[in-house]
Amino acid sequence: MKHAFRRFAAGAATVTGSPWAFLLAVLVILTWGVTGPLFNFSDGWQLTINTGTTIVTFLMVFLIQNTQNRDTVAIQLKLDELLRGVVGARTSLVDLENLSDEDLALLHQQFARLQVSAAKSEQDAAKDAAKDAVTDSHGA
């Protein structure tokens, strides 16, 4: 069942995400709008589009969520593999998506501090290089 749903969801996401599907949706809306005067803009006429769009939206939420969940897992696995393959990388960062919100916030703060420290080191190195360039030009 899962395999069949996955294949259906992937196929449906591909089809409904196409320009042709968008064009079809626009044509449906235009047709509905043009038929308004034929039905005297009745409650039934309005209910038709409201019901149709509600049903389509309701079903699409599940299809989109399924494909998004699969994509997210695939991306996480690829990132985890990159972490494992980089010498010096902290492999403890693998599986971060399972940390609590509090733990993620602490890790975010840690990375913010690392970024500030790295930026300061880069500024210091640039200043040193500029001083060396000035000293070399005066000495020559």
Give residue-wise pLDDT tens across range 116-132. Answer: 988 888 888 888 888 87
Is residue 140 over pLDDT 60?
no
Q: What is the pLDDT of residue 121?
A: 87
Which residue, among 45, 12, 11, has the nearest Cα to 29 in the 3D structure? Answer: 45
Q: Is 75 helix (H, G, I), strand (E, B) or coil?
A: helix
Confidence of residue 139 (pLDDT cuts 50, 70, 90): low
Cα–Cα distance measured from residue 21 to residue 63, given in angstroms and rounded to the nearest whole number: 15
Global pTM reads 0.62
Q: Is 1 helix (H, G, I), strand (E, B) or coil?
A: coil
Contact 91, 84 (CB under 8 A): yes
Angle at 97 between CA 91 and CA 99, to 5 degrees: 85
Q: What is the pLDDT of residue 27?
A: 97
Tracing tokens 């001083």 back to the chain, one arrives at 131
